[in-house]
């Protein structure tokens, strides 16, 4: 079961042509990512300040199918999937009000020990999140 949330495209998301600036689609996806963590009971403040675990993004890609404009109401759908004991990816769809796909994206993440910058197994909290939305 994937996670979904609503978002209204903001003026700050757009470029001089009035459409979502390409790099901002990842920021919009990240809004869904954060919302899914919160919905799973993860405290974001503790998640990002954890001295034992960090989850950097190692890869992003996006494809665009329709322009999005300031004021457009979209649905951010995401489905995470565990790759191995250290990594996971999140697939995103940005859907318009009439359920058409405006963009898709993928982010890949790895769990690391933030002190020594070496990979580390995913925490049970993240495994629970992955299982909830996979």
Q: Could you tell me the domains of the chain?
A: 3-125 (3.10.129.10)
User: Pick from 19, 35, 126: which is nearest to 72 by CA?
Assistant: 19
Q: What is the mean pLDDT of residues 78-88?
A: 98
Residue 13 falls in the annotated catalytic set: no
Q: What is the mean pLDDT of residues 29-48?
A: 97
By DSSP bridging, strand 73-82 and strand 101-110 are unpaired
Q: What are phi and psi of 80, to 5 degrees?
A: -85, 155
Catalytic residue among 15, 43, 84, 113: 15
Q: Return all residues near 16 (Cβ < 8 A) that are at least 6 apart.
A: none
User: Pick from 101, 98, 80, 78: which is nearest to 89 by CA?
Assistant: 80
**Given this model, what pLDDT does residue 1 score?**
82
**Given this model, what pLDDT does residue 20 score?**
98
Q: CA 35 to CA 5: how far, in whole Å?
A: 7
């Amino acid at each position: 079961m994937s996670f979904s949330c609503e978002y209204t495209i903001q003026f700050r998301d757009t470029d001089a042509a009035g459409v979502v600036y390409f790099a901002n689609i990842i920021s919009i996806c990240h809004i869904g990512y954060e919302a899914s963590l919160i919905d799973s009971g993860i405290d974001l403040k503790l998640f990002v300040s954890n001295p034992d675990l960090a989850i950097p993004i190692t890869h992003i890609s996006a494809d665009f199918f329709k322009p999005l404009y300031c004021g457009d109401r979209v649905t951010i759908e995401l489905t995470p999937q565990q790759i191995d004991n250290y990594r996971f990816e999140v697939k995103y769809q940005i859907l318009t009000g009439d359920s058409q796909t405006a963009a898709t994206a993928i982010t890949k993440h790895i769990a690391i020990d933030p002190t020594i910058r070496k990979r580390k197994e995913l925490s049970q909290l993240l495994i629970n999140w992955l299982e909830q939305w996979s």
